[in-house]
Amino acid sequence: MRSLLSKTLYDQRRGLIGWGIGLAALVALMLAYYPTVRNSPELNKFARELPQGVKALIGGTVEYTSPAGYLNGELFAFMLPLLFLVYGIGLGSRAIAGEEERRTIDLLLANPISRTRVVLEKAAAAGLGIALLGVIVVVVLLVGGRAAGMRIGVEKLVAAGVSVVLLGLLFGSLALMLSSATGARRSTRGIAAALGVAAYFLNALAPLASTLKPYRKLSPFYWYAGNEPLRHGLSAAHAGALLALTAVMVVAAVVLLNRRDIAV
Amino acid sequence: MRITSSSCAREGGSRELGRRVARLRRRARADRQVERRPLPGAPPIETEGLCKSYGDKQALLNLDLALRSGEVFGFIGPNGAGKTTTIRILMDLIRPSSGCARVLGVEPRAGGVELRRRIGYLPGELALYEELTPRRLLAHLSALRAGAGQRSIEPLAKRLSLELDRPIRTLSRGNKQKVGLVQALMHEPELLILDEPTSGVDPLVQHELHALLSEARERGQTVLISSHVLSEIERIADRIGIIRDGQLVVVDDMGALKARTARQVEIHFSGRVPPSAFEGLPGVREARFEGDAARFVVIGPIDALVKAAARFEVLTMTSREPDLEELFLTIYASGQRA
């Protein structure tokens, strides 16, 4: 462990292995069901007749039994963003507030390492962890999708994987910012999770409610899914918006941690 | 000089103003750069009117402290007196409400990374990465210092008899404290700041720590060592400062302080002794006689008392060091005169 970055990655290892296995299993399971779904066109009718509200939450505008429709409905509309959010928020809230809660931060900051570097290396380690999970999802999709007879472009799967990673990074950096600002791990986790849920519903329900419609673009979920990466690939504007917001949060985390007292 | 707000530039909107602010900022940065270089002969630690408050609670009140280069300075006070607050300001973990501190000639915040390279710090409430072994943790901390101290880990661990290869969570409190000591000492920093280093360690380790600190002093390192127990550091400290309720009560040479503190002396004789034989002895403040025993409170040398007692048959004589509370009392009592 030559650096804080490598130590933080080392600390993540167990969680990362567990999450990687879990995500791979989830994706593989969903793919295993696909051949059955593909041969049941009546499901399309069923999906079409779902109430508007439910359809909005599941997301997607294509036929349910198409590869893009199925992957979106079962993984990318809800399950994967939720899991990446939970993982990202966990890492982000632990990054600074976790050290502070365990009181190890005095020992860490006594070293010739600036608070700025602490935030950046922790952010980088968390980013690498989230990205690794994204790689696992995409690899399982590529390999398993072929086995399940799923016809969908590699670039579409990669685009969806990148999008969900970017969403995880965004909420991870939100938690990192709150964690740097307050040093309180639990409330950081709570607030970030609540904001995640609110953002999800705002994006999903905005098309149905005229009062919400103008605010849809405030939701990161719009920038995550609004472009439908499984159908249209990665949009530079959407990915850029998520990345830019992430960068702002990390910078804010640096500024806020540099300003305040470290709790005893 | 530091410019913290650039709002004037944005609100003004004028190009000229923006340029002027940029120029001022550059100059401020240059000033800070100059400040960063330690002044030769600057005290290793210096505070002026240092205050820290948490809400209504005043943790530090106008603390003026100056350490001399190469000394071991004992920082004494009861728990909650403000020792850790002071030390955490010196380490830039917290910022003062007002007043200023300079460590090795620079303000802790401005000194940043370069300053901390030259300091070894043992936190008061030491918490370690429990899942690591001491060897891994110390190697990691040394790596954060660009490898400084890597070679001292083994010898230091041996001297403190610290096992390096068991997970830290299985170690006793004293052994964890040893890990903290090794990481503070290993890179032989110019300045050692040790917050309650002797808490939880047995007398043998305390002895070894004193030896290590003596060697540090011989090498010219300056040591700030805090404790709430006087006896733990009186042997090693050149000077001590006593802090109480966020204020520095006294700073004095250890020897001078001891000379004017009251100690209790208890003497058992083989028979009753006449109290009159002990009247008017210099330094004796109080004398109580009970049967064959006599108890005295003495300030300064006990020479006169010993010589007076020697005229009788003495069975035992014990002299107890004053504890912190008694020390405070004598200081407050003598403070009126000083």
Tell me which residue of A21, A11, A23 sits closest to A126, measured CA to CA. A11
Question: Which DSSP string corresponds to B135-193?
Answer: HHHHHHHHHHTTTTTGGGHHHHHHHTT--SSS-GGGS-HHHHHHHHHHHHHTT--SEEE
Would you state the pLDDT for residue B28? 62
Residue B32, token pair as written in the block: 């800070």
Would you state the pLDDT for residue A7? 96
Set of chain B residues whose Cβ sits within 8 Å of the Cβ of A106: 88, 91, 93, 121, 123, 125-127
**Which residue from B minimizes the CA distance to A118?**
B144
Q: Which helix (H) or strand (E) holds B263?
A: strand B262-269
- DSSP class of residue A50 equals S
Q: Is B119 on the interface with A (CB under 8 A)?
A: yes
Q: How far is A180 from chain B (nearest CA, A)?
A: 14
Number of A/B CB contacts below 8 angstroms equals 64
Q: Is A14 on the interface with B (CB under 8 A)?
A: no
CA distance A11 to A237: 34
More confident residue, A205 or A96: A96
Beta strands in B26-109 (DSSP E): 45-54, 57-66, 72-76, 98-103
Around B216, how many Cα atoms within 13 Å sit in the side-chain half-sphere? 32
More confident residue, A44 or B145: B145
Kindly determine whether residue B91 and residue A264, on different chains, have CB atoms separated by under 8 Å: no
Q: Stretch A8-16: mean pLDDT, rounded?
A: 95
Q: Is B210 on the interface with A (CB under 8 A)?
A: no
- β-bridge pairing B239-244 and B262-269: unpaired
More confident residue, B335 or A91: A91
**Which residue from B minimizes the CA distance to A117?**
B113
From the first residue on, what is the mean pLDDT of each consecutive set of 10 residues in chain B (338 residues)?
Answer: 35 54 64 49 92 93 96 93 96 96 96 96 96 97 96 97 96 95 97 94 92 96 93 88 90 82 89 92 90 90 92 93 69 54
Q: Stretch A83-94: mean pLDDT, rounded?
A: 97
- Residue A72 to residues A243, B14, B221: CA-CA distances in angstroms? 22, 51, 65
Would you state the pLDDT for residue B13? 42
Kindly determine whether residue B121 and residue A110, on different chains, have CB atoms separated by under 8 Å: yes
Q: Is A264 on the interface with B (CB under 8 A)?
A: yes
Q: How far is A6 from chain B (nearest CA, A)?
A: 10
Would you state the pLDDT for residue B26? 65
CA distance A126 to A89: 10
Would you state the pLDDT for residue B192? 98
Q: Stretch A80-104: mean pLDDT, rounded?
A: 96
Maximum C-alpha span of chain B: 96
Q: Is A112 on the interface with B (CB under 8 A)?
A: yes
Would you state the pLDDT for residue B37? 47
- Amino acid at the residue B290: E
User: Taking the C-alpha atoms of A127, A131, A133 and A138 in order, what is their torsion angle to the nearest 10 degrees?
Assistant: 170
Map tokens 């809800």 to a residue.
A78
Q: Is A5 on the interface with B (CB under 8 A)?
A: no
Residues whose CB is less than 8 angstroms from the CB of residue A215 and which lie 6 or more positions away in sequence, other chains included: A202, A206
CA distance B305 to B300: 11
Kindly determine whether residue A3 and residue B127, on different chains, have CB atoms separated by under 8 Å: no
Set of chain A residues whose Cβ sits within 8 Å of the Cβ of B141: 107, 111
Kindly determine whether residue A262 and residue B88, on different chains, have CB atoms separated by under 8 Å: yes
Contact status, residue A26 vs residue A192, Cβ threshold 8 Å: no
User: For residue range A178-233, what is the model confidence (pLDDT) as tens digits?
Assistant: 999 999 999 999 999 999 999 999 998 888 888 998 999 999 999 999 889 999 99
Would you state the pLDDT for residue B336? 45
Number of residues assigned to chain B: 338
Q: Which residues of B46-68 are buried (b: 16+ CB within 10 A; e: fewer)?
A: bbeebbbeeeeebbbbebebebe
* Nearest CB to A110 within list B91, B125, B140: B91
Kindly determine whether residue B127 and residue A103, on different chains, have CB atoms separated by under 8 Å: yes
CA distance B287 to B265: 9
Kindly determine whether residue A264 and residue B88, on different chains, have CB atoms separated by under 8 Å: yes
Would you state the pLDDT for residue B11? 35
Kindly determine whether residue A107 and residue B180, on different chains, have CB atoms separated by under 8 Å: yes
B215 torsion bin: left (phi>0), alpha (psi -120 to 50), beta (else): alpha
Kindly determine whether residue B127 and residue A7, on different chains, have CB atoms separated by under 8 Å: no
Q: Beta-carbon neighbour count of residue B338 at 10 Å?
A: 7
CA distance B81 to B61: 11
CA distance B338 to B334: 6
Q: Is B141 on the interface with A (CB under 8 A)?
A: yes
Would you state the pLDDT for residue B334? 59
Could you tell me how far CA A80 lies from the centroid of its own chain?
Answer: 7
Would you state the pLDDT for residue B19? 65
User: For residue range A236-251, what is the model confidence (pLDDT) as tens digits?
Assistant: 999 999 999 999 999 9
3-state SS assignment for residue B246 = coil
Kindly determine whether residue A3 and residue B144, on different chains, have CB atoms separated by under 8 Å: yes
Q: Is B177 on the interface with A (CB under 8 A)?
A: no
Q: Is B114 on the interface with A (CB under 8 A)?
A: yes
Best B53, B91, B144 member to test A by mutation, with max A CBs in 10 Å, is: B144
Residue A251, token pair as written in the block: 């910078």
Would you state the pLDDT for residue B8? 28
Q: Stretch A150-156: mean pLDDT, rounded?
A: 94
Set of chain B residues whose Cβ sits within 8 Å of the Cβ of A2: 143
Residue A171, token pair as written in the block: 């909420």
Strand order in the sheet with B45-54: B57-66, B45-54, B98-103
Kindly determine whether residue B114 and residue A112, on different chains, have CB atoms separated by under 8 Å: yes
Q: Is B102 on the interface with A (CB under 8 A)?
A: no
Contact status, residue B145 vs residue A111, Cβ threshold 8 Å: yes
Going from the N-terminus, what domains does chain B have, and what CATH number goes with each? 7-36 (no CATH), 45-251 (3.40.50.300), 262-321 (3.30.70.260)
Q: Is B129 on the interface with A (CB under 8 A)?
A: yes
Would you state the pLDDT for residue B40? 59
Kindly determine whether residue A109 and residue B94, on different chains, have CB atoms separated by under 8 Å: no
Task: Among A56-70, A109-123, B24-38, B189-203, name the one with the lowest average pLDDT.
Answer: B24-38
Map tokens 């849920």 to a residue.
A197
Tell me which residue of A79, A32, A49, A38 sits closest to A200, measured CA to CA. A79
Q: How far is A107 from chain B (nearest CA, A)?
A: 7
Set of chain B residues whose Cβ sits within 8 Å of the Cβ of A14: none
Q: Stretch A67-83: mean pLDDT, rounded?
A: 94
